[in-house]
Amino acid sequence: MKYGFYPGCSLHGTGIEYGMSTTVVAKKLDINLVEIPDWNCCGASSAHNTDPLLAKALPARNLALAEQYGLNDIAIPCAACYQRLKMSELAVQKEETREEISEIIEMNLKGKARARSILEVFSNDLSEERIREEVVKPLTGLKVACYYGCLLVKPPEVAIDSTEHPLMMDRIITTLGGTPVEWDYKTECCGGALSLTRVDAAVMMTAKILHYAKLAGADCIATPCPLCTSNLDMRQKAAEKALGISINLPVYYFTELMGTAFGIAPNELGLDKHFVEAKSLLQNISAPAGQ
Amino acid sequence: MGSIQLSNTVPDSDEFRALLKKEYESDLSLCYQCGKCSAGCPAAFAMENTVRQIIRMVQLGLTKEALTTYSIWVCASCETCSTRCPRHVEPAKVMEALRIEAKKAGLVADKRADLFNDLFLQSVSNHGRLHEVGLIMRYNLLSGQWFKDAMLAPSMMMQGKLKVLPESIKNKEAVAKIFKNVQKKRGGQK
Amino acid sequence: MKRIGVFVCHCGTNIANTVHCDQVAEVAKDFPGVVYSCDYKYMCAEPGQQLIQDAVREHNLDGYVVAACSPRMHEPTFRKCAERAGLNPYMIEQVNIREQCSWVHADKEKGTEKSIDLLRMAVAKARKNEPLSSSTIPVTKRALVIGAGIAGIQTAIDIADNGFQVTLLDREHSIGGRMAQVDKTFPTLDCSACILTPKMVEAAQHPNIEMVTYAEVTAVDGFVGNFDVTIRKKARYVDFDKCTGCGACQEKCPKKVSSEFEMGLGPRKAIYVPFPQAVPNKPVIDAEHCRYLLDGKCGVCKKICPTEAVDYEQKDEVIVERYGSIVVATGFDQFDISKYEEYGAGRYPDVITGLHLERLMNASGPTAGKIKRPSDGKVPEKIVFIKCVGSRDEAKGRPYCSKACCMYVAKHATLIKEKMPQSKSYIFYMDVRTGGKSYEEFYKRTQEQYDGQYIRGRVSKIFQVGDKLIVRGEDSLIGRPVEIEADLVVLAAGMEPRADAVALARTLGISYDQHGWYTEAHPKLQPIETHTAGIYLAGVCQGPKDIPESVAQASAAAVKATGLLSKGELTSEAMIAECNEAVCAGCGLCISVCPYKAIEKKKVSERVHGQMKERVVAVVNPGLCQGCGACTVNCPSSAMNINGFTNEQILAEVDALCQR
């Protein structure tokens, strides 16, 4: 299976471990991710807060590049990038918009490229059996709060799963032998967009999510989004202070958990690159298969 | 508190609502003020006016009040409101429209958010991609928060998460051109 | 050549504002065949009609054209006017220059031009009009009522009391419908069963009512006065002639099934009577769950039955019955709350609907009338009601108001406080709509005497923490987000059409709106009739209603139905199809397209070259034909014509338009 790959800026920086784990896990599952040559930034919320045209045009250049290289299925790990590319993809289905955007990016856009989240690719294009085949260290006993954030499921037109109660990641965790916990903060916003401009608000929003994950009895949180992860992980200390309680929940990219269950070495997955210490929980839990 | 002179404010603001409808596909006449947006808003606690109230301001013609409220900059664009809105008003889109219009009118209440967006786009326009370190450093410097998150920096550096030098794409001009073309289009429209 | 008159109506300013009526009348004078033309302010008014009649006599008119409103509005008026003037009523034409011209155009010059064109066509057609007459058909003096909820029961009783035979049909085992599930009724709070069951018994025992339960309508043929209805009676596996209703089978049956009547809150058996007051009060076997019918094991009910009434061999029975009129009273489904994922509806057992609460409050319900939460049986203290769930919500596909919820929520809050004085009800609303006699007063009492806390705003999210449900809304009056830790959440789920409402509409040939509610013939003046003659509507199947409204509409439908049945015969349509046997090739295409089964084949003998030959041609039954025209457009040899709308007349109209 071959896909265009759009890592996005975060995976080259703060979300480096998401990129590392996605790459090795995909390889293990025989998914061929071909990085879109010379891709550019999707513009994120700054673009759509500034100009609706710019918000469509910046991702559209990547869609056009993907089309040029015959990579019509674009797998995107970052939830924010996914939403921006998907919005642009949907907008350019309208001929009028497609022509306008083609003019702006000075490239011929056919509207054929499809933006897809890597979570949805793993969930829909692979059978549960295929994933199970690779599991050598099942996550037995690991209670995981699957946190989807906003951008993969909202607004409804871009949603890869239920906007209120998604289950895609939960199913993967189950396949890996882990136990997803039942909780209701799966798609509440972590305040990622406010992470730098309104740290106080972002910390409060993050704190609520961490609090409810803890109440649900989770050992850790799994996410498909670098913005969420950096908030939940990097700002966990601040959140603990705001809540006045200890949280101590490692925050993993779901691909890191997949990789762990597949028996990939922690450092290859980037497990050493977390703020809340993340290696020991998985070391303790992952017992060799058959035990 | 003086009365709002609705016989003036409402007709005087027809144009602004028409603009929202045309440019942003936001039809505020659809809103029946149920408050489901504000009730589910995860950032509402940090807002002085709820999303519903801001929409009401625009409905009643208190345009300037709506554009200058700090609340529109606290909106995190999580789209929860748009997802749950029973009337397809898409409040998140309205908030976004108000931010853009506030900027156009020079009425931005949250200068930091504005600065952040500008610096972000500058970085993208210059390199084709975002340079996180550059953005954060310039943002902290220019917004007068010199030591914000400085505690986090050393460990991030160790983890390889902070790249000191910007990463540029080959065809930087193509991205810069997009910015120019959008600007040209906007200029042409005026 | 026929002498035609033209009468142009102003309709006050309705037409005259956008059409120069005088000019139209003037131009018409030059149309071929027109010997008199004038305009007048109100042609339908008495002086206008007199003007027409005088002109007919004075100018010796053979026919006339009125340019006015829609024929739907006044064609009967102008036909009667023609009759009074001594003309055959089918010698006139009405051309619509109001709905199809003045109301939809703004430009007066263009409106005038269009009116002239429309009139020119009508005159060309009128010149080819021939006198027509109608025939009569007998009426079957018997009515069918589909659905035996309160609306259907009331309709059946009223028709029967008027001396006509009625079949009252329901697909469930018992009559009673939704009202049987309800505990108490607003605004008087009398017990629903106490007022409903006497009516159920009355219907069952009425000499003029035949009760057919556990049965469905599968096909409807024929037409007003004579509908041939195919009914499938589902196998009950119990011989009702032998069964005494002793209940022993129900007691001993080992198979427990979740009870539909109890909204899944309690069990029933595989052989069961749905509720204690059911009519008929005899059990049926649910074939989907019966162990014997599924895998041949068990058979306990048969063994225990003292009258040998259990019969596993019973099969569905299909019958065809003829009825003069049909009343549809099929009711509603409750909105499926699981579409509100943000409320955890369908995931949390303690997020329930109004009908669930009715069962929890009912003395014969699963909790014997004690309100306990479904999850753990705990008595709830803080109860949150959320209105407009599946109502006034376009995003969930239900933009309309369900009308009864504001009142039933007030009723619930009142009853809960009465049952549990320590409890507290919080009611989220967007508007409180309590139009209706003594309704607003009831709402006031809910706040004043029963401590109902009304909060204006729509709830955004419900989630569970421990054994509490956190309800998050905005109080839009104070403009701040609010949260309530609730023990039980009751969603005022709206009404929606039955899942198979559209299928039944197609079977009956009646129209329905975008949601599936059946459409009345006129929203104000014909709220009971459908567009299909002889079929009437009662109750919620036409749109959300409460009990008083449903009962009122039911009695109205009974009057309409008996009005039809009391006629010995019906005048058939005059503008019906006729076959020109000389050119009919006997291909039979018309027979296959006729929706009313009004065309048959017949043999005719004719002399060809001195020899008698037999040939097949089509023949139209004037009692069945409704003049829809499907046969005429399909006829390859143009042998079929609609009288009053012949091919020749239509071509004359086209010619008139093209040759102007």
Per residue in B16-44, pLDDT (tens digit) is: 999 999 999 999 999 999 999 999 999 99
B74 touches chain C (CB under 8 A): no
Domain coordinates in residue numbering, chain C: 4-126, 142-234+316-324+506-565, 248-304, 333-496, 577-643
Confidence of residue A2 (pLDDT cuts 50, 70, 90): very high
pLDDT at A287: 53
**Does any domain span residue B44?**
yes
Give the helix/strand (H/E) hosting C24: helix C21-28
pLDDT at B137: 83
* B-chain residues near A198 (CB < 8 A): 46, 73-74, 113
Complex ipTM: 0.90
Range of A164-168, B118-122, B165-169, C656-660 with top mean pLDDT = A164-168
Look up residue C646 and give its amino acid.
Answer: T
Per-residue pLDDT of A17-62, as tens digits, reads 999 999 999 999 999 999 999 999 999 989 999 999 999 999 999 9
Angle (CA) C211-C216-C221 rounded to 5° is: 100
Mean pLDDT value across chain B: 90
C341 touches chain A (CB under 8 A): yes
- Is residue B73 located within the same domain as residue B12? yes
Per-residue pLDDT of C528-585, as tens digits, reads 999 889 999 999 999 999 999 999 999 999 999 999 999 989 888 899 999 999 999 9
Beta-carbon count within 10 A of C420 CB: 16
Q: Do domains C142-234+316-324+506-565 and C577-643 have the same CATH topology?
A: no
Residue A185 above 80 pLDDT? yes
A59 close to A31: Cβ distance less than 8 angstroms: no
Tokens of C170: 């329901």
Composition of chain C by helix, strand, coil, percent to 5? 30, 25, 40
How many domains does chain B fold into? 2
| Contacts B–C by Cβ distance under 8 A | 68
What are C495's strand-pairing partners? C334
pLDDT average, residue stretch C280-285: 96
Look up residue C428 and give its amino acid.
Answer: F
pLDDT at C393: 97
Rounded percentage of chain C residues whose pLDDT exceeds 70: 100
Nearest CA in chain B to C462: B40
What is the rounded CA–CA span in Å between residue C111 and residue C67? 13
Domain at C577-643, CATH class: alpha beta
Tokens of C266: 């309690």
Residue B189 above 60 pLDDT? no
Q: What are phi and psi of C511, to 5 degrees?
A: -95, 160
Closest-CA distance, A155 to chain B, in angstroms, reads 5
Q: What are phi and psi of B42, to 5 degrees?
A: -75, -15
The residues near C576 (Cβ < 8 Å, ≥ 6 apart) are: C620, C622, C625, C626, C627, C642, C643
Residue C131 above 90 pLDDT? yes
Per-residue pLDDT of B107-140, as tens digits, reads 999 998 999 999 999 999 999 998 888 888 888 8
Per-residue pLDDT of A98-145, as tens digits, reads 999 999 999 999 999 999 999 999 999 999 999 999 999 999 999 999
- Identify the domain containing residue B118 by its residue range: 111-189
DSSP letter, residue C183: S
- Is residue B49 located within the same domain as residue B90? yes
Which domain CATH number covers B25?
1.10.1060.10
Identify which of C475, C476, C481 has the shortest CB distance to residue B44.
C481
Half-sphere exposure of A47 (CA within 13 A, CB side): 30
Per-residue pLDDT of C372-407, as tens digits, reads 999 999 999 999 999 999 999 999 999 999 999 999
* A-chain residues near B159 (CB < 8 A): 16, 272-273
Closest by CA position to C118, among listed C554, C660, C617: C660
What is the rounded CA–CA span in Å between residue B53 and residue C528? 43
Identify the burial level of C452 via C-beta atoms within 10 angstroms of its C-beta, where 0-12 means exposed, 13-18 middle and 19 or more buried. buried
pLDDT at A291: 41
Q: Cβ contact (<8 Å) for B35 and C457?
A: yes
Q: Chain centroid to CA C19: how far?
A: 38
**Does any domain span residue B1?**
no
* B-chain residues near A155 (CB < 8 A): 79, 82-83, 90, 92
- Could you give the C-alpha distances from B163 to A15, A229, B69, B170, in angstroms and in order? 12, 19, 36, 18
pLDDT at B190: 39
Per-residue pLDDT of C96-119, as tens digits, reads 999 999 999 999 999 999 999 999
Residue C617 above 90 pLDDT? yes
Residue B86 above 70 pLDDT? yes
pLDDT at B142: 84
Q: Cβ contact (<8 Å) for A185 and C344?
A: no
What is the rounded CA–CA span in Å between residue C355 and residue C95? 52
Closest-CA distance, A139 to chain B, in angstroms, reads 25
Closest-CA distance, B45 to chain C, in angstroms, reads 8
B156 touches chain A (CB under 8 A): yes
CATH number of C333-496: 3.50.50.60
B135 touches chain C (CB under 8 A): no
Residue C163 above 70 pLDDT? yes
Q: Cβ contact (<8 Å) for A57 and B182?
A: yes
C464 touches chain A (CB under 8 A): yes
A163 close to B8: Cβ distance less than 8 angstroms: no
Identify the burial level of C625 via C-beta atoms within 10 angstroms of its C-beta, where 0-12 means exposed, 13-18 middle and 19 or more buried. buried
* Maximum separation of any 2 CA atoms in chain B, in Å: 63
Confidence of residue C72 (pLDDT cuts 50, 70, 90): confident
pLDDT at C338: 96
Three-state DSSP at C620 gives strand
pLDDT at C589: 95
B75 touches chain C (CB under 8 A): no
Confidence of residue C1 (pLDDT cuts 50, 70, 90): confident
Residue C59 above 50 pLDDT? yes
pLDDT at C659: 83
Mean pLDDT value across chain C: 95
- Is residue B119 located within the same domain as residue B84? no
* C-chain residues near A162 (CB < 8 A): 341
The residues near C435 (Cβ < 8 Å, ≥ 6 apart) are: none
Last residue of a domain, one of B53, B87, B104: B104
Peptide bond before residue C280 is cis, with ω within 30 degrees of 0: yes
pLDDT at A192: 86
pLDDT average, residue stretch C581-607: 91
- Is residue B85 located within the same domain as residue B151? no
pLDDT at A289: 45
B21 touches chain A (CB under 8 A): no
pLDDT at B188: 59
What is the rounded CA–CA span in Å between residue C272 and residue C541? 28
Tokens of C651: 């071509």
- Is residue B154 located within the same domain as residue B182? yes
Exposure letters C152-189 (e unless 16+ CB within 10 A, then b): bbbbbbbbbebebbbbbbbbbbbbbbbbbbbbbbbbee
* A-chain residues near B23 (CB < 8 A): 52
pLDDT at C113: 96
Chain C residues whose C-beta is within 8 A of a chain B C-beta are 342, 392-396, 430, 456-461, 472-476, 479-482
Q: What are phi and psi of C646, to 5 degrees?
A: -70, 160
Tokens of C471: 């309800």
Per-residue pLDDT of A161-183, as tens digits, reads 999 999 999 999 999 999 999 99
**Does any domain span residue B171?**
yes
Three-state DSSP at B99 gives helix
Confidence of residue A290 (pLDDT cuts 50, 70, 90): very low
Q: Chain centroid to CA C110: how far?
A: 40
Nearest CA in chain C to B90: C395
CATH number of C142-234+316-324+506-565: 3.50.50.60
Nearest CA in chain B to C479: B50
pLDDT average, residue stretch C23-36: 96
DSSP letter, residue C487: S
Domain coordinates in residue numbering, chain A: 2-119, 130-285
> What CATH architecture does domain A2-119 belong to?
Up-down Bundle (1.20)
Residue C466 above 80 pLDDT? yes
Give the best residue of A96, A102, A154 to mutate against chain B (max B CB count within 10 A).
Answer: A154
Last residue of a domain, one of B57, B73, B104: B104
- Is residue B76 located within the same domain as residue B27? yes
pLDDT at B57: 97
Q: Cβ contact (<8 Å) for C342 and A164?
A: yes
Residue C361 above 90 pLDDT? yes
Last residue of a domain, one of B71, B88, B104: B104
Structural fold of domain A130-285: Rossmann fold (3.40.50)
Chains meeting B at 3+ CB pairs closer than 8 A?
Answer: A, C
Can you give the three-state secondary structure of chain A, one letter per residue? CEEEECCCHHHHCCCHHHHHHHHHHHHHCCCEEEECCCCCCCCHHHHHCCCHHHHHHHHHHHHHHHHHCCCCEEEECCHHHHHHHHHHHHHCCCHHHHHHHHHHHCCCCCCCCEEEEHHHHHHHCCCHHHHHHHCCCCCCCCEEEECCCCCCCCCHHHCCCCCCCCCHHHHHHHHCCCEECCCCCCCCCCCHHHCCCCHHHHHHHHHHHHHHHHHCCCCEEEECCHHHHHHHHHCHHHHHHHHCCCCCCCEEEHHHHHHHHCCCCHHHHCHHHCCCCCHHHHHHHCCCCCC
pLDDT at B140: 85
C422 close to C373: Cβ distance less than 8 angstroms: no
- C4-126 is a CATH 1.10.10 domain: no
Q: Cβ contact (<8 Å) for B23 and A198?
A: no
Rounded percentage of chain C residues whose pLDDT exceeds 90: 93
Q: Cβ contact (<8 Å) for B42 and A205?
A: yes
* C-chain residues near B53 (CB < 8 A): 479
User: Where is pLDDT greater, at C596 or C225?
Assistant: C225
Closest by CA position to A106, among listed A46, A51, A57, A72: A57
What is the rounded CA–CA span in Å between residue B174 and residue B176? 6
